[in-house]
Structure 1
Amino acid sequence: MNNKQRIKDNKEFQQIFKKGTSYANRQFVVYVLPTEKPYFRIGLSVSKKVGNAVTRNRIKRYIRQTFLELKDDVQPANYIIIARNPAATFDFHQTKKSLEHVLQIAKVYRMNGKMKKR
């Protein structure tokens, strides 16, 4: 994932928190803010309460890889993903399934060729 697809600036995080819409399941909270750009951007937040540095980095790696695999099926928008405690025990496939679920709730994920628009 290249630098233009990442959200790192605190100002951008705050803007997405204020203007975006949040969707959640037990493992993740996703804030979505539509954008005019033809690609998606993601910002990640994993609290120290979730686990040690190794665990937090593994979760972030799984989230980035999931978005890379779903890049053609996810609407272009700004996303902030916040990991909750249960995500610490998940492997990659469980993480991907959980993220797909929350993206379907947000109606920004296309499954089986159909895009669910917001």
Structure 2
Amino acid sequence: MNIAEVSKQLDISPDTLRYYERIGLIPPVKRNKSGIRDYGETDLKWIEFIKCMRSAGLMVEVLIEYVELFRQGEETIAARKNILIEQRNQLAAKMEDLKKTIDKLDYKIEVYENAILK
């Protein structure tokens, strides 16, 4: 699958795909005889993972570290797991903060609704 097809399928720009590969956020993509990127299923799974993690707010640097550890092999499994646990804990804390904000907004909306009904 070429970069345009991947871009369309995963809704991510070709420039972003090139950037992610250049900075090591996704492993290097194989190229065909003409030098054109030829994305495989594994590449697509990496891109989906990175896209998901980025949309959740994970920092590029953390994800680069994770990918580098992955490339080093099975001896880094514990380190990779620790990165994911830490990121999950940070996201859970953010979710709790967002929940509190939503609760406050709901309260304020209710106050205004009650004021309008009077």
Shorter-normalised TM-score: what interval? Answer: 0.3 to 0.5
Could you tell me the TM-score, scaled by structure 1's length? Answer: 0.32
Instruction: Name the structure, 1 or 2, with higher relative contact order (CA <8 Å, separation 6+).
Output: 1
The structure in which a higher percent of residues are strand is 1
